[in-house]
Structure 1
Amino acid sequence: MLSIPQKWHFSSHPLPRISSVLNPPGEIKRVVLSPKGRTKLNPLPDREFYASPRFVKHVDDKFISNLRDLYGEILRPEMEILDLCSSWVSHLPDEVAYERVVGHGLNAQELARNPRLSYFFVKDLNKDQKLEMEDSTFHAVLCTVSVQYLQQPEKVFAEVFRVLRPGGVFIVSFSNRLFYEKAIAAWRDGTGYSRVQLVVQYFQCVEGFTQPQVIRKLPNAKQGNSIFSQIAGVFGLLSGSDPFYAVIAYKNFKPIYE
């Protein structure tokens, strides 16, 4: 028979209810950005800025190769995918046919040219963050080189959480290129490290996402060290050696596939 030492004392007070401590899944726990951090140098509506189609790739071939490899590791053919802030290309692996890929963006002409999309819709997420979709619709949500333009990222990430299925993944990828006048101040004023941490905080501010995983693939140290190279990289003028960053988290849990 196990005897309990006399020095151990057990409280008769009941433990607090967990539901009174934790936030409901999908709830925004805290605000990440200050009002100033959300501002843009160009305050005109984004729909006007993106009114004319841009049939260009905003990152270099190495970045795209890294992104396709990442998608190949995480995404599965039977998945239904939402490509958020998409364009005329989705950078999905060519050899994989997914169950469904829904595109979102700001220019209908660009989205109509994207061969991977089952259908698409146009919406300015800086004006209205609500996604007109049912809860738990998608296995995966992607956001490629566009997170820097979100002025209400907390609300957007909460909406992504809502439309993801349990175990669904949100993959946010970016480099150092941007439309400078359209990026939010918190992003413009940051470094590669601080921008990664900013996206990590976007995930962490929504109750229910798993601990974000960060992937960094930086160019060779011999490249991009000059002041000109750094400035050119910020403005998207370099044709190669883009740094690759991705932040990944899952809704509720990370699934294990055989």
Structure 2
Amino acid sequence: MEPQPLSVRPYAPTNPTRPFPYTQADMTPTDPGNDASFYAPPRFVTHIDDNAIVNLKRYYDDNLPEMGTILDFCSSWISHYPPRIHDAVAKGEIVVLGTGMNEAELARNPVFAPGKDADVAARDRRWWLQDLNVDPDVPFPKLGGQEVKLDASTCVVSIDYLTKPVEVLSSIRHQTNQGGKVHLAISNRCFPTKVVGRWLEVNEKQRLEMVGNYLHYAGWRDIEIVDVVIGGFLNDPLWVVRATKT
């Protein structure tokens, strides 16, 4: 059976000229303690169910570029990219870079393929540790000593943990080529003590609008909400909120 076309709807803030609508309390988690300690133990698990993973891979297959540079931020030991992306990485047609909080997890992610030469691999390691809640400025990636710009970025069920999402998304936008896109995958699973406070106070529709607002205030445009999986009793819901650098 052919998969059904995804439902896509545009999003824009009701009053786009007003100041950022969330307070510091809204953006503070219940446990604002040291994130480095919280994420220190490796978690080699998936944070969405198998059905959501299959559908996210299908979404990525249809929407990530054929060539270029992709950033997977708030990444882990698996990025849920389809075989097409892995094949393109192996051929050198796509470079995937990653940021995250756990060294063991990032080192195991096969999509961050190193160079064949050990010295090149050390110089061009394609992932790095970064606590975006402490330092939201994502550095310009370098390959072969040269800065590169991004063609797409992804983030899977982690945007709700960022206490400075506008700063992070603005930094990524600055490093993205014109026409490049960001894809933020969202479900209803979370570590409740670590998501920002407002996330636990609103419903799913309002959470998607929150993320749309993050993107708007970070300067992204053509914001869309994509229903990837309609959740039910036996399966996780999954949405992607995406936008373009125009």
Aligned mates of 2:96, 2:19 — CA distance in 1: 31
Deviation at 1:29, TM superposition (A): 8.2
CA change 1:150–1:216 in 2 (3 A) is same
Q: 3-state SS of the aligned residue for 2:206?
A: helix
> Whose radius of gyration is greater, 1 or 2?
1
> How far apart in 2 are the matches of 1:31 and 1:94?
39
Alpha-carbon deviations, 1:88-110, whole Å to 9, x = none?
00111123324100011000000
Task: State, as a whole percentage, how many aligned pairs show the same letter.
Answer: 32
Residues 1:114 and 2:126 are matched in the alignment: no
Q: Confirm or deny: 8 A CA contact 1:200 1:212 kept in the other structure.
A: yes
Give per-residue Cα distances to partners, 1:73-132, cap 9 Å, x unaligned: 111231210000000001111233241000110000000000001320001000111112
Name whichever structure is richer in strand by fraction.
2
Q: Which of residues 237, 241, 246 is equivalent to 1:247?
A: 241
1:213 to 218, 221, 224: 224
Give the TM-score taking structure 2 as reference length: 0.79
Q: Which residue of 1 aligns with 2:58?
A: 69
TM-score, reference length from structure 1: 0.76
Could you tell me how far 1:180 is from its partner in structure 2?
Answer: 0.5
Which of 74, 89, 92 is equivalent to 2:78? 89
Change (3 A) 1:136 1:113: closer
CA contact (8 A) 1:88 1:111 kept: yes
Per the alignment, do residues 32 and 125 of structure 1 end up closer, same or farther by CA in structure 2, a change over 3 Å counting? farther
Q: Letter of the aligned partner of 1:129 in structure 2? A: P
Q: Secondary structure at the match of 2:83?
A: coil
Count of aligned pairs between the two proteins: 207
Partner Cα distance (2:71, 2:185) in 1 = 14
Deviation at 1:199, TM superposition (A): 0.6
The 8 Å contact of residues 88 and 113 in structure 1, kept in 2 or not, is answered as: yes
